[in-house]
Structure 1
Amino acid sequence: MTFIKPEFRHPDAPKNSLGCTRKDYEGGLSTLCAGCGHDSISASIIDACFELNIEPHRVAKLSGIGCSSKTPAYFLSGSHSFNSVHGRMPSVATGANMANRDLIYLGVSGDGDTASIGMGQFAHVVRRNLNMVYIVENNGCYGLTKGQDSATMDTGSQSKKGDVNIYSPIDLARVAIEIGATFVGRSFSGDREQLLPLLKAAMSHRGFALLDVISPCVTFNNHVGSTKSYAYTREHLDAMPIDFVPMRQEITANYESGTTHEVCMHDGSVVRLHKANDEYDIEDRQSALQAIASHSNAGNILTGLLYINRDGEELHDALGTARRPLNTLSEKELCPGSRFLDSINDGLR
């Protein structure tokens, strides 16, 4: 059977301020299983870039190996793209970012690609505060190799054949907060109203932004007994509603005291959080960690913007790199000569 993506789009389809329609942000036809949560994430990425008026060629999308790492083919076909080896996407992202800081770096990975073979790479890209958005499409299993448990599978969760996981899970959000991420959010692929503003906020953040998105595997991990299934996730979500207000819009608030918290981003846009109570401070690392642990111990999944640090120094600032992309620099600027090299070496003695 041949599947062909239709080319037709309504002639009156909405356009953004660039004159682009949503079609300009789409990619190829997905080959993932019907109902896969990853496709919902791809759709939200398309919507976020369209609504933020981002030119596709200003985006560099990177991935590793796994079902999740196939998804960059399904959005932003006009952007730069690199599919790296298993677990090594952070190294490629770092190298590309150091060469050209003008692009928006969007890394897509999975719980296996990140929390197992890529855990060391993930930890170092977090602590260096590389300016990128790192999306983990988290389904708790290895979908490409018949559904074995991944390192994020919860203790006591059952596999499709009935085996119970006896190991403690790695909570990537808690790990990222602990080792220096400056923006950490968690969401559910089936909650577009929360995921879309989180994506917009992450893309507007200056520094490393992690989005841990629970994305059920409909083939191997969507059954009774799994804590990463659609049913379980919907029943145990403790969601924090969130709005993202671009700076081109008038920023207003009309909420009772104590029910909203606004965070101004570097570009002047605002992330607005609606909270039922003042449970914790998202700008305090220890408070965020305690809130995540408390909900986890109660069997619930806390989602939304979990932590943000607007004052963190991103990697380009820390290293004092050139403001311009390396491919725009002259040979003299790139190779200033032995005298300059000698001065560097003298400074290291």
Structure 2
Amino acid sequence: MSYIKPKFRHPKLPTNALGYTVADYDGSISTLCAGCGHDSISAAIRNACFLSSIQPHRIAKMSGIGCSSKTPTYFLGKSHGFNSVHGRMPSVATGASVANRDLTYIGISGDGDTASIGMGQFIHLIRRNVNMTYIVANNGCYGLTKGQDSATTDLGSISKIGFENPFDGIDLASLALLQGASFVGRSFSGDKDQLVPLIRAAMAHKGFAFIDVVSPCVTFANHAGASKSYSATRENIDPMPLDFVPMREEIRTQYDAGTSQAVTLHDGSVIHLHKASSDYAANDRQAALSEVQTANAEGKILTGLLYLDPDSQNLTHTLQLATRPLNELGKNELCPGSHVLNSINEGLR
């Protein structure tokens, strides 16, 4: 078997506003199990970056350890990347975003990497409102180490060897809402029509954007009784279709009153929510948390844009950092001399 991707591309591939083709956002050939939902997430990220016309070298991919954290190899091969220690991706992402505020940061994690060993760091990433898109490929098991239950495995879910999970699973979307995340979404790896615009909206958001993606493990959690299998997810999903309109495009909507909600992001782009419930407000944190928990109680998975804070202030604004990336500052700007230090000290007396 060859793992070398052919370099030939059709000469008439469509290009985006920057002149790139979607092939320019490809990575290496995936070595994950055939049919893995994580590969669908990788494809969605690639398509989202292509459609949003982001230069590949202006993107930084961050990950931890696990099947999900291997995926940055499989998309955006021309982008910066850092595969960190298990559960410690938030620290690396925070430091990188402070050093260079102008890059687009995409963090890829898993339910083990985030909800177990990385839980403490994940909470502080939310608290600091780091400017990044954080995607959890959530399959409810440790697929890299033979399918043990993870912290997000649902109560009563049956493992491949027949054991029933006796514990409640951690709902990461509810946790993100409760802890104050400024953008919270949920999707299904098999729903690219919803997932791609949701990722585009997350990347346009100025602050911490969290997306929990149900991503079935075809090897260890795709059997009868597994609550995050393809069949169980499709039966219980409660989708909220989305359209994302960048600020450079003319914004139009022809949807009937009461069936669509337009949410304006910080950069002027708009995401349209098309839903069955006409009273859902994407900027009401308490209502969003209530909707998610109601769906959970009914055994359903509510997906779409769950919450957006219209007044979000990210970490660089909170810390009043320089408006230019630190790696572009010269010696005199970084070390202005003792007279500046003396004036600072005098101001603290």
Unaligned runs of 5+ in 2: none
Q: In 2, distance between residues paired with 1:346 and 1:169?
A: 53
Question: Does the Cα contact within 8 Å between 2:45 and 2:196 map onto a contact in 1?
Answer: yes
Aligned residue identity for 1:116: S
Instruction: Give the Å deviation of 1:276.
Output: 1.3
Q: In 1, distance between residues paired with 2:70 and 2:78?
A: 16
What is the aligned partner in structure 1 of residue 186 from structure 2? 186
Q: In 2, distance between residues paired with 1:18 and 1:181?
A: 32
Structure 1 residues 1-349: aligned runs within 5 Å = 1-344=1-344
Aligned residue identity for 2:239: A
> Which range is displaced more, 331-340 or 311-320?
331-340
Distance 1:344 1:147, change over 3 A: farther
Q: In 1, distance between residues paired with 2:289 and 2:228?
A: 21
Q: In 1, distance between residues paired with 2:90 and 2:197?
A: 24
> Which range is displaced more, 170-179 or 226-235?
170-179
Q: In 1, distance between residues paired with 2:258 and 2:275?
A: 8
Cα deviations by residue, 1:232-283 (Å, 9 ceiling, x for unpaired): 0000000011110112221111121111100111221110001212243221
Q: Give SS of 2:76's match.
A: coil
Aligned residue identity for 1:48: A
Cα deviations by residue, 1:261-318 (Å, 9 ceiling, x for unpaired): 0011122111000121224322111100000000000000000000000201111111
Q: In 2, distance between residues paired with 1:347 and 1:173?
A: 44
Q: Give SS of 1:211's match.
A: strand
Q: In 1, distance between residues paired with 2:262 and 2:233?
A: 27
Q: In 1, distance between residues paired with 2:150 and 2:340?
A: 49
Aligned residue identity for 1:98: V
Instruction: Give the Å deviation of 1:342.
Output: 4.6
Q: In 1, distance between residues paired with 2:131 and 2:149?
A: 31
Q: Give SS of 1:231's match.
A: helix
Aligned residue identity for 1:173: A
Distance 1:345 1:36, change over 3 A: farther
Q: Give SS of 1:213's match.
A: strand
Q: Give SS of 2:220's match.
A: coil
Instruction: Give the Å deviation of 1:229.
Output: 0.2
Corresponding pairs, count:
349
Q: In 1, distance between residues paired with 2:131 and 2:248?
A: 23
Q: In 2, distance between residues paired with 1:176 and 1:33?
A: 29
Distance 1:122 1:344, change over 3 A: farther
Q: Give SS of 2:201's match.
A: helix
> Which range is displaced more, 70-79 or 321-330?
321-330
Q: Give SS of 1:158's match.
A: coil
> Which range is displaced more, 257-266 or 271-280?
271-280
> Which range is displaced more, 2-11 or 268-277?
2-11
Aligned residue identity for 1:160: K
Aligned residue identity for 1:40: S
Instruction: Give the Å deviation of 1:340.
Output: 3.3
Q: Give SS of 1:199's match.
A: helix
Cα deviations by residue, 1:13-54 (Å, 9 ceiling, x for unpaired): 111121111110000010100000000010111111111111
Give the TM-score normalised by structure 1: 0.97
Instruction: Give the Å deviation of 1:338.
Output: 3.6
Q: In 2, distance between residues paired with 1:222 and 1:341?
A: 61
Instruction: Give the Å deviation of 1:157.
Output: 0.4
> Which range is displaced more, 276-285 or 224-233?
276-285
Instruction: Give the Å deviation of 1:345.
Output: 5.1
